[in-house]
Amino acid sequence: MKVTIVGTGYVGLVTGACLAEIGNDVFCVDVDPRKIEILNNGGVPIHEPGLQEMLARTRAAGRIQFSTDVKASVEHGEIQFIAVGTPPDEDGSADLQYVLAAARNIGRYSNGFKVIVDKSTVPVGTALQVKSVVEEELKARGLEASGKHGFSVVSNPEFLKEGAAVDDFMRPDRIVIGIDDDEAGNLAREKMKRLYAPFNRNHERTLYMDVRSAEFTKYAANAMLATRISFMNDLSNLADTVGADIESVRRGIGSDPRIGYHFLYAGCGYGGSCFPKDVQALAQTARENGHTLRILEAVEAVNSDQKEVLVNKIVKRMGEDLRGRTFAVWGLAFKPNTDDMREASSRRIVEALLQRGATVHAYDPVAREEAERVLALDLADRPEDMKRMHFVKTQQDALTGADALVIVTEWKEFKSPDFGHLKSALKTPVIFDGRNLYEPEAMAELGIDYYAIGRPHVELDRNGNRF
């Protein structure tokens, strides 16, 4: 099938590459010529495992192309995916200017029946706005929004995890499609069924529903996952106070099949492109409709506070004044297997350390370039602090001469380091672990002063007994 993807960001690139991989003819369009140049030169503007290899295969096979030619992109695809950004506005609501601009272009250049698919995460009611904009453009051309120039607006939210997005798309647990129950909607349904048929061969994964419910489903899914994370983080802080071990608690409740283990890990807060803005957007939608989502507002507040918990542990152990202190920071991206720095906990933690006069030696396996860019913006009005921010090439380089290690992102290479080297490289063997990678008892036996999230701080006497 001929498919157009509007937007070559995270969702657009993964969607385009995966649909091309299974044999479709995909046209990816973006208004940013820099992105298109990178893609046409064989590069990828984001880090996502498996994506570059898939793009290379589909490009070599002639099944995917990249362009800034909007008219050609509209004329190409019978199915038009809108996969542009929906950044948060000042009040937390999703900014739909890019979605509606894409819709306007489809109406302006439409040359036949189009299935317009909202792939971007958008608030309930967006499909109606998209429909209105397309109709307006068709009317300006003297065309009727039916027959040859008819169209249907479909909601097909994405459920991709950064770091595993290619696999998530190729092996989906569900495909949600919101569609109108009318003549145009029935035609769109047949086209979407055909497009996703390769993913339904073993069993039917597609859930059909009305458009508004599909739009709501995406926000509800992310809100639930964010809630589980904030719930555990809130409990972890109480565990610190009462002397419980949140990891034991996690195993105890996660073994209940009604609860499960997923997204129950305590840490230093969630970030990324989805959870923060989607929680805010859903809460704002509620306010606009006269409701208050009290749980979600608490979820957001807990997450914001959680990004200070590790800093508070550092200050309690090493003092408020950190001048003359150097900290090794392992991990900058908001999660492993991505270079995404949006709402990353590291930004708050690093800034707090620098504000207190510390020097930071930071290492991340893939996010160094993006981290340098965003932290330079974060600290633009504090050049003296930025002078004490150093990005290093290896995790060992970060340790050399540091007073303590701060772990922010749970990259695999951090899970089993050479603790002997770690102790000898640090001035003092102290670890502040924001992702609970190690066992407190084992760290104490190694002579490492270890502080985690919601886990006991263990000290041993000369005989190896706790005291």
**267 labelled ligand-binding:** yes
φ, ψ dihedrals at 209, nearest 5°: -155, 180
Average pLDDT over residues 232-247: 97
Q: Do domains 219-305 and 307-451 have the same CATH topology?
A: no
Catalytic residues: 274
**Which pLDDT band, with edges at 50, 70 and 90, does 465 fall under?**
low
Q: What is the gyration radius of the CA atoms in the chain, in angstroms?
A: 25
Across the chain, mean pLDDT equals 95
User: Known binder of ligand: residue 266?
Assistant: yes
Instruction: Please give the pLDDT value at position 257.
Output: 96
Q: What percent of the chain has pLDDT over 90?
A: 93
- Residue 412 annotated as lining a ligand binding site: no
Q: How far is CA 70 from the centre of its chain?
A: 27
pLDDT of residue 249: 97
**Cα–Cα dist 230/269, whole Å:** 7
Look at the domain 2-209 and name its fold.
Answer: Rossmann fold (3.40.50)
Residue 189 in marked binding region? no
Q: Select the CATH number that applies to the domain covering 219-305 from these four: 1.10.1040.10, 3.40.50.800, 2.160.10.10, 3.40.50.620.
A: 1.10.1040.10
Q: What is the pLDDT of residue 92?
A: 81
Find the mean pLDDT for residues 69-97: 92
Query: Cα 327 to the chain's mean position, in Å?
Result: 26
Each residue of 245-295: pLDDT tens digit? 999 999 999 999 999 999 999 999 999 988 999 999 999 999 999 999 999
Q: Is 307 annotated as a binding residue?
A: no
Task: Quickly list H helices, 243-308.
Answer: 246-254, 275-288, 294-306
Per DSSP, 231 falls in state H
Q: Which residue has the tokens 């542009």?
A: 84
- Any known ligand binding at 162? yes
> Nearest-CA neighbor of 405 among 378, 426, 382, 389?
426
pLDDT score at 462: 66
Strands 151-155 and 326-330: unpaired
Residues 356-366: b if buried by 16+ CB within 10 A, e if exposed? bebbbbbbbbb
CATH annotation of 307-451: 3.40.50.720
- State the amino acid at position 27 in one-letter form: F
pLDDT score of 151 more than 90: yes
Average pLDDT over residues 449-467: 82
Supply the pLDDT for residue 463: 61
Residue 460 marked as a ligand binder: no
Of 184, 113, 180, 103, residue with least CA distance to 148: 113
Sheet with 389-391: list strands edge to edge: 389-391, 359-363, 326-330, 404-407, 430-433, 449-451
264 is in an annotated binding site: yes
Determine whether the annotation assigns residue 425 to a binding site: no
326-330 vs 359-363, strand pairing mode: parallel
Sign of torsion, CA 8 192 48 309? positive
Residue 163 assigned as binding residue: no
Q: Residue 218's pLDDT is what? A: 94
- Using the Cα atoms of residue 452, residue 456, residue 457 and residue 459 in order, give the sign of their dihedral: negative
Flag whether 121 is marked binding. yes
Has 160 been labeled as part of a binding site? Answer: yes
The residue among 74, 83, 134 whose CA lies nearest residue 110 is 74
**What is the rounded CA–CA span in Å between residue 246 and residue 264?**
10
Mean pLDDT (whole number) for 136-140: 95
Half-sphere exposure of 198 (CA within 13 A, CB side): 12
161 known ligand binder = yes
pLDDT, tens digit, 9 for 90 and up, residues 360-411: 999 999 999 999 999 999 999 999 999 999 999 999 999 999 999 999 999 9
Could you tell me the residue ranges of all domains in the chain? Answer: 2-209, 219-305, 307-451
Q: Specify whether the CB–CB gap between 354 and 323 falls below 8 A.
A: no
